[in-house]
Structure 1
């Protein structure tokens, strides 16, 4: 992960939870999708790579008891929930997978990488490294957006997304070549925002993708969204790929 992306999340930290805590239903749905696949058990050794403020770490902590919360943004880690179950580790996925930063456990029983794999340059190397950290029966779950999305963004942002977003099939292939048994599945959740709130989220650069645009470009994009969507409520599906690898 580049220093620019880490800096983006440092700037976003104060407003990060605001973008999603309005939707307890979405958080509950995504948490269920994660737990149903990773199946963390009490006492399992678990790492959340790219945990952010811990929005989706909570379910892991409730299930396993303790989680290594890995993120390169110290500002994000400062906003983790309080409690011994959250063990902050300021590091990137590359740092952990390549052994530059050690986690508080030896082998891991479960690893979550939620919406962070697109920040990794050498995905094959990092995923192989993470796979190598799994204990027998250990699981790694990569949660990511597909290569196209139905978000009501402006055209330049959508084109940039399609250019840079990795293909879940490729991620599955990397994990298979790392020796894991892999299953790829997709699920969707219907999102609904007031247009005012969604435009504020875009201005806040709630997606790291939007950090590619300067303030003037972003305002032009917001105006494009506003023109294209005269409705006051924006409704669209949020579709995710879930790539689950298991050490058999």
Structure 2
């Protein structure tokens, strides 16, 4: 799931009230239209899925989990590159989001209704006793205690297992309104802290950055903002969103928006001799 920290303020609008920790409610409401409003385009999904698979060095025999999978956008992309493969676990606390995998779910994907904390604290058991690879794509900011939860996820890894945390950097160059960009910088986790957490959990860690140029129709992007495609935007009222879009219109009269999407890739791996 995309967004920024769940430490949100209270706000009320036509879409209802959002309180701290109610990120799940935000995604439950957005689930049916999530892929439409969130996916910048098929080339973007293919690009990111490829980077995830390449960074984790995934193979068809790996036991894999996408933690915070949402609607399975990237799990589907990764699955398409690994055929045949073991089922990829799509772990997410939102049943509504996971329902978008289809009934029955897309081939090669197994939905697991659970949070990362449910997994690490033993409230939910996974179909695999140990995992060879897992990733958290823009979901680590929803963790109340990232250090503790990431350590718990590391405990689910098999010897040689890999864990990838994908998150936005501390500042972004999206064509959003100023108040949204400011709030993002106030709340976004620092990738360096993710490096620390994984090292503390006993993994060898490497931090790299990848960047993809996005091109999107201006009106479509404004529609995504109105739909609050980032959980960050759920912290603004309807009137604040509309005022923000007016600001965006003035700053970006061009019909097609072009901007960089830059990500930090924090990869942790068990040492080969790890038990």
TM-score range normalised by the length of the shorter chain = over 0.9
Contact 1:35 1:59 (8 Å CA) reproduced:
no
Contact 1:50 1:71 (8 Å CA) reproduced:
yes
Contact 2:90 2:112 (8 Å CA) reproduced:
yes
CA apart distance, 1:86: 1.4
Aligned to 2:180: 157
TM-score under structure 2 length normalisation: 0.87
Q: 1:84-233 residue pairs with structure 2 within 5 A?
A: 84-233=107-256
CA apart distance, 1:65: 2.6
Q: 1:71-90 residue pairs with structure 2 within 5 A?
A: 71-81=92-102, 82-90=105-113
Which digits, 9 at most, give the CA deviation of each residue in 1:94-123, with x for residues without a partner?
111222211111111001100100111100
What is the aligned-residue RMSD (CA, Å)?
A: 1.4
**What secondary structure is seen at the aligned counterpart in 2 of 1:225?**
helix
Which digits, 9 at most, give the CA deviation of each residue in 1:174-223, with x for residues without a partner?
00010001011001100111111110000000101000011111111111
2-side partners of 1:15 and 1:188: how far apart? 26
1-side partners of 2:45 and 2:77: how far apart? 10
Give the number of aligned pairs.
248
CA apart distance, 1:43: 2.5
Aligned to 2:47: 29
Aligned to 2:11: none
Which digits, 9 at most, give the CA deviation of each residue in 1:12-46, with x for residues without a partner?
11111113445121111101110001122222211
RCO (CA 8 Å, sep 6+): is it higher in 1 or 2?
2
